[in-house]
């Protein structure tokens, strides 16, 4: 398996299991098989007491069963044994092998994870972070519990995969997920369960999707983006001015008219318009018309909806009053037909929003538009909403015919391709941006572009 495939699997991973070589003194095979059937995506072998040769032998069932279930196998703090154990990578703590040394030893094709126990340690360039302990845990008694504040700090800081760890089980996972965790790492909740498969399945159900989601108005919540639909009736109470400190709030008006308070001004916009409030810009909205206003509402990264759905106080899902606002950020207002125009034969793309948190583009294509062949993004979600006509998308080998009113939300790590079926108009959203609009701009100009710089990995198969 090469580095792209490993990192694609990592991007889609949500449930991470840490085990010793012989849980409860037994062969781990049955436990591993059950946990992987239940939805575990990554398994780490952590056994600091075993001599080298015994650790290599202990790794055999881990490697074999992870291969059988398409999961990643990670070794704890032994980069020097990753090759012998057939591991996909290594995880190191702050007091273990330095990150740079671990990456040099395992090579570019294998993944390296790093522990972070405080907000200050959420720095560096591993492939993923293990964040915690969140709650006190006997498996790491030396770790102080960071609580849900540490989950929120990771949510607001990190733009790569990360897994909350420490005391997470069926009783606590809803709070951790509601606070915005990308994924969770567990030990006792599965290892000590009477039904490890059922325990893993219950935990996995609390976490966000890792497959492409097709929706016609239902919300889709990913770590990278909240994909929400709204309707506001005439005369309904306006949304009061508020701010977000760590994410961008975007509205694309699908029908009717909306009026936005953005910063010091007010703007009234019709269908086809897009309004974005960057972090710390005060904003609110109302329906000034005499018909329902319908809109697509995007929060990027996806820090808002899970917290609201879980019933947290607004400040815990990054929502504050107007007093938190700054005068420095500027609103983005793109009226119907407006936007930087990127053109090539059979396609016009209007750049409606270009921000680090997300790029929003509106495409107009004809029946000869060739779309994009099989590719994958490792660090950002690729999302589509069909406004007119029809798109044909292939994600994970499954074909989707998306007609007007249909959204297809594709998480990082999912191989996909798309083209139009005749004339079509659609939105394409990349969250976080990873410079996608700039990438398209350079491609249209005929520049020599390395797609990987913009998190576009082109493949020869879907």
Q: What is the pLDDT of residues 185-229, one digit of tens each?
A: 999 999 999 999 999 999 999 999 999 999 999 999 999 999 999
* pLDDT of amino acid 136: 82
* pLDDT of amino acid 126: 98
Phi, psi of 322 (to 5 degrees): -65, -20
* pLDDT of amino acid 161: 98
Mean pLDDT for 224-240 is 97
Judged against a pLDDT cut of 80, whether residue 20 lies above it is answered with yes
CB-CB contact of 75 with 63 (8 Å): no
Quote the tokens at residue 387. 């406004």
* pLDDT of amino acid 249: 98
Mean pLDDT for 81-91 is 98
Judged against a pLDDT cut of 90, whether residue 10 lies above it is answered with yes
> Treating both helix axes as pointing N-terminal to C-terminal, what angle do 29-37 and 52-69 enclose, rounded to 10 degrees?
30
Mean pLDDT for 35-52 is 97
Judged against a pLDDT cut of 70, whether residue 3 lies above it is answered with yes
* pLDDT of amino acid 163: 98
* pLDDT of amino acid 139: 62
User: Distance of CA 219 to CAs 53, 88, 229, 400, 409, Å?
Assistant: 50, 34, 7, 18, 10
Report the chain's mean pLDDT, rounded to a whole number: 96
Q: Which DSSP helix (H) or strand (E) runs through 99?
A: helix 99-106
Q: Is the pTM of this model over 0.85?
A: yes
Residue partners of 360: CB distance under 8 A and separation at least 6: 250, 252, 274, 276, 298, 351, 352, 353, 427, 428, 429
Mean pLDDT for 11-27 is 97
Judged against a pLDDT cut of 60, whether residue 462 lies above it is answered with no
Give the count of beta carbons closer than 10 Å to the beta carbon of residue 74.
28
Q: Label residue 1 by pLDDT band (50, 70, 90).
A: confident
* pLDDT of amino acid 345: 95
Quote the tokens at residue 292. 């329902």
* pLDDT of amino acid 144: 79
Q: Label residue 432 by pLDDT band (50, 70, 90).
A: very high
Phi, psi of 154 (to 5 degrees): -65, -40
Mean pLDDT for 128-134 is 97
Give the count of beta carbons closer than 10 Å to the beta carbon of residue 91.
31
What is the Cα–Cα distance from 285 to 275, expressed in whole angstroms? 11
Residue partners of 168: CB distance under 8 A and separation at least 6: 134, 135, 176, 184, 185, 186, 189, 203
What is the Cα–Cα distance from 293 to 280, expressed in whole angstroms? 25
Residue partners of 141: CB distance under 8 A and separation at least 6: none
Comparing 139-143, 208-212, 329-333, 408-412, the range with the smallest average pLDDT is: 139-143
């Amino acid at each position: 398996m090469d580095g792209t495939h490993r990192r694609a699997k990592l991007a889609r991973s949500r449930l991470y299991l840490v085990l010793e070589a012989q849980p409860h003194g037994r062969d781990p095979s049955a436990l591993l098989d059950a946990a992987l059937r239940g939805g575990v995506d990554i398994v780490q072998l952590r056994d600091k007491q075993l001599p080298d040769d015994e650790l290599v032998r202990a790794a055999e069932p881990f490697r074999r069963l992870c291969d059988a279930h398409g999961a990643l196998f990670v070794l704890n703090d032994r980069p020097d044994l990753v090759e012998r154990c057939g591991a996909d990578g290594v995880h190191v703590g702050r007091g273990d092998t330095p990150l740079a040394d671990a990456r040099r030893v395992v090579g570019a094709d294998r993944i390296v994870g790093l522990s972070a126990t405080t907000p200050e340690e959420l720095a560096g360039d591993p492939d993923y972070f293990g964040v915690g302990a969140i709650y006190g845990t006997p498996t790491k008694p030396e770790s102080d519990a960071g609580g849900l504040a540490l989950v929120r700090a990771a949510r607001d800081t990190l733009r790569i995969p990360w897994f909350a760890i420490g005391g997470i089980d069926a009783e606590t996972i809803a709070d951790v997920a509601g606070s915005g965790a990308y994924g969770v790492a567990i030990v006792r909740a599965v290892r000590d369960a009477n039904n490890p498969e059922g325990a893993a399945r219950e935990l996995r159900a609390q976490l966000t999707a890792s497959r492409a989601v097709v929706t016609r108005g239902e919300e889709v919540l990913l770590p990278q983006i909240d994909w929400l639909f709204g309707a506001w009736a005439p005369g309904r109470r306006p949304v009061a001015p508020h701010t977000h400190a760590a994410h961008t709030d975007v509205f694309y008006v699908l029908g009717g008219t909306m009026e936005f308070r953005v910063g010091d001004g007010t703007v009234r916009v019709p269908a086809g318009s897009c309004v974005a409030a960057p972090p710390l810009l005060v904003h609110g909205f109302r329906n000034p018309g005499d018909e329902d206003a319908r809109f697509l509402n995007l929060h990027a990264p996806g820090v808002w909806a899970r917290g609201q759905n879980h019933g947290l106080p607004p400040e815990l899902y990054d929502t504050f009053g107007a007093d938190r606002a700054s005068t420095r950020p500027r609103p983005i207002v793109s009226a119907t037909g407006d936007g930087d125009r990127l053109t090539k034969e059979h396609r016009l793309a209007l750049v409606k929003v270009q921000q680090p948190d997300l790029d929003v583009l509106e495409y107009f294509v004809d029946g000869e538009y060739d779309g994009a062949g099989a590719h994958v993004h490792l660090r950002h979600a690729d999302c589509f909403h069909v406004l007119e006509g029809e798109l044909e998308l292939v994600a994970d080998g499954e074909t989707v015919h998306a007609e007007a009113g249909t959204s297809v939300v594709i998480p990082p790590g999912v191989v996909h391709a798309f083209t139009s079926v005749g004339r079509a108009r659609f939105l394409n959203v990349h969250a976080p941006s990873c410079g996608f609009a700039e990438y398209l701009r350079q491609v249209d100009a005929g520049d020599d572009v390395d797609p990987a710089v913009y998190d576009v990995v082109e493949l020869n198969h879907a």
